[in-house]
Amino acid sequence: MDDSALTPLQRRTLGLLRRGEPVVFDQSFVAQLQGDIDEAFELFEKRLAGETVFMSKHKVSSVLGCEVQHLLDDSFAWSPAVAGGQVAHRAIQLMLNWRGEPAPADVVDEAIARLADDDTSLGDWIAGLTEADRADLTGVAVEKLIKFLECFPPLDKRAAPTTESTVRWPVEGPIVLSGKVDLTIGRTAGDESRKVIIDLKTGWAAPKHREDLRFYALVEMLRTHVPPRKLASFYLDAGQPVVEDVTEATLLTASRRMLDAVNAEIELRIEGRDPVKRPGASCKWCPLAKECPEGTAHLARRREQDDTAFDADA
């Protein structure tokens, strides 16, 4: 690829994606960690009372946060702002394999049409949109797609770029880890780690984003026995990635966190332990925030800190 034809932002991203020295994990470490997880899952299974536990990055983060909020009924509803990310991801997938240089709006239109045909809640929601809401959705998705194109160079097909890649382990069992990766670059070659796992983000950086990627790295190791070499949360609004090399410590931390989450999920939903209230960032969208003294106090402190920071910058 001719780097001179790229923007400075695209060249920086290319530098992130390029491989340096080969990364090869000790297979005895991989086997030991997998064995420890298998043993823990066997102990958990004895407490499940025939139930099945599915753990995604969201569930891991949720159950380790405010347990009261975690147990609330899911009141999720689609909106142009929320659905725009899903449409943009489908548009990126199309763009990666599209011949020529199509206009971003045309690719987004095709992505919306394909999603509307899917037998999913998103497909049903898109099919029922008014023209105005559909225009809002298109605008949100086009903005995200353009920002992606500004940040990423054209991706070589030899690097096997894939979007919305589903990961799952094990294939069956009472405890299943699963997720869907925004963007994966590279593929395993022998024991060498070549994959880069990327989450595409808008808005502010948060510590949980790094933990989410570590969860993906752990699932990738369990399913292929070869961990990825690098993780990146790419913040499209700012045009900046937060990058982390995958190490044995990364995988050990992700394993402990995942096992803590599974244990908490069993305690809460199966064994009936009382949930612990933990005020945090999720208080901003919690339906109980107005009735929760701890959450109200937390949000007040956050507003005060933000106001103090703004005054200092002024």
Domain extent at residue 292: 288-313
| pLDDT tens-digit series, residues 181-240 | 999 999 889 999 999 999 999 878 888 999 999 999 999 999 999 999 999 999 999 998
Q: Say how far apart CA 258 and CA 265 lie, in whole Å.
A: 11
Indicate whether 192 and 243 sit together in one domain: yes
Q: Is residue 282 part of a domain?
A: no
Indicate whether 171 and 99 sit together in one domain: no
The end-to-end CA distance of the chain, in Å, is: 44
Q: Say how far apart CA 38 and CA 29 lie, in whole Å.
A: 14
Q: Is residue 101 part of a domain?
A: yes
pLDDT at 310: 44
pLDDT at 157: 86
Indicate whether 241 and 295 sit together in one domain: no
Q: Say how far apart CA 290 and CA 46 lie, in whole Å.
A: 39
Instruction: Assess contact for 256 and 60: CB atoms under 8 A.
Output: no
Helix (H) or strand (E) holding 169: strand 162-169
Token digits of residue 211: 């933990």
Q: Say how far apart CA 217 and CA 177 lie, in whole Å.
A: 12
Tokens 């989410």 correspond to what residue?
Answer: 212
Domain count along the chain: 3
pTM of the model: 0.90
Indicate whether 58 and 164 sit together in one domain: yes
Strand partners, 167: 179
Q: Is residue 87 part of a domain?
A: yes
Provide the 3-class DSSP secondary structure of residue 166.
strand
Indicate whether 97 and 215 sit together in one domain: no
Indicate whether 265 and 121 sit together in one domain: no
Indicate whether 131 and 192 sit together in one domain: no
Q: What is the dihedral of CA 17, 202, 167, 151, to 10 degrees?
A: -20
Q: Say how far apart CA 202 and CA 192 lie, in whole Å.
A: 32
Strand partners, 177: 55, 169
| pLDDT tens-digit series, residues 246-272 | 999 999 999 999 999 999 999 999 999
Indicate whether 84 and 67 sit together in one domain: no
Please give the C-alpha separations between residue 30 and each of 68, 156, 157, 208, 247, in angstroms, as whole numbers: 35, 30, 29, 24, 11
Indicate whether 239 and 125 sit together in one domain: no
Domain boundary among 111, 130, 151: 151
